[in-house]
Amino acid sequence: MTLVEPPLARPYRKFLPADSAVQYLDSAGELTGSEARYPRPSDHRLVEMHRNMVLGRRFDQQATALTKQGRLAVYPSSRGQEACQIAAAMSLRPGDWMFPTYRDSVALAARGIDPVEILSMLAGDWHCGYDPARHRSAPQCTPLATQLLHATGVAYGENRRGRDTVALAFCGDGATSEGDFHEALNFAAVFKAPVVFLVQNNGFAISVPLARQSAAPTLAHKGVGYGIGSEQVDGNDPVAMLAVMDEAANFIRAGNGPVIVEAHTYRIDAHTNADDATRYRDSSEVEQWLGRDPLTRLEKYLRGKGLLDDASADALTAEADTAAATLRAGMNVDRPHDPLDLFRHVFAEPTPQLREQQAQVQAELAAESEEH
């Protein structure tokens, strides 16, 4: 009798989760010496990644400051997760699609979107601020996991049209407990939709630790159950992140179907500026993760290879400060608001009730105008 290999074993054989998170750099920025599972990114790409991370962290710091000044209603910091977001953005081609969460502003900035436009929604604008079609980046998603279905649908549709398009969907560890997560992975697996699911496992779904969310050995192993490529990586190791994300995109473009990547990282700041993280985690835990800072690790590595020195580091810091000043100036400009926009984009054809409400607002505005 001839044994037939199960068909599900073939598509993802070369993309199964490592026994431990893929890592190239230790916390001191030195190569670990372990055998590489994936090609190491070129020096040129790592220098580019470092620049994007420096600019991204300064952007994040400035956005956090803007909340204290009342210019933003809320801001979810991504401090400590820059390697995840920058590597994801850099793994995409211009024609690929990105589906970010509310915490992935740094990834959008790395895609070349104006930081003022990125923060417009958090400043209170009714739309996402940037043009999704132009930048091939969906609006930042606040509901957990709904963007995963959108990414899967776009990836499937692009594939049906014969286009070489990859969709990349971000989510956090909390989103993996949502039904939309499982529906997206299952559909993507069955129809081989070219989508990367990047799970930034930062330890907490707001205040709920991972141990209260899943009993799986890793979140990456959830992909194995759906028959898709799966991997786990040290999300605070920029070299490993870029290597894995590049390989995931290549794997998908070769027609192997979707991939899930779990990045082990940490949310250094609170869930948002409105959250008190001291209520559910110890400061000693935060200190331990500060010692694994992704920006520090990459900087030490580049300096060790002679790819970064004091002069180039100072120039990059000055560039980041200039960008932050431009962001501050842009956010200090009051945007004109038309109250009638409340009614213009609700339905393609306004309902009688909506027309009545619009007429009431118009009458009130006209009365106020006459008074002044």
Token pair of 115, please?
Answer: 């930081």
Query: What letters, b where the CB count within 10 A reaches 16 and e where it falls short, cover 135-150?
Result: bbbbbbbeebbbbbbb
From CA 260, how far away is CA 274, in angstroms rounded?
31
Tokens 């194995």 belong to 224
Q: What is the spatial order of strands in the sheet that 229-234 belongs to?
A: 97-99, 167-172, 195-201, 259-264, 229-234
Identify which of 261, 229, 202 has the alpha carbon closest to the alpha carbon of residue 82: 202
From CA 176, how far away is CA 171, in angstroms rounded?
8
Catalytic residue numbers? Answer: 267, 271, 280
Supply the DSSP symbol for 96: S
Using DSSP, state whether 102 is helix, strand or coil. Answer: coil
Q: Contact, 295 vs 222, CB < 8 A?
A: no
From start to end of the chain, where are the E strands?
A: 97-99, 167-172, 195-201, 204-205, 208-209, 229-234, 259-264
Neighbours of 124 (CB within 10 A): 11
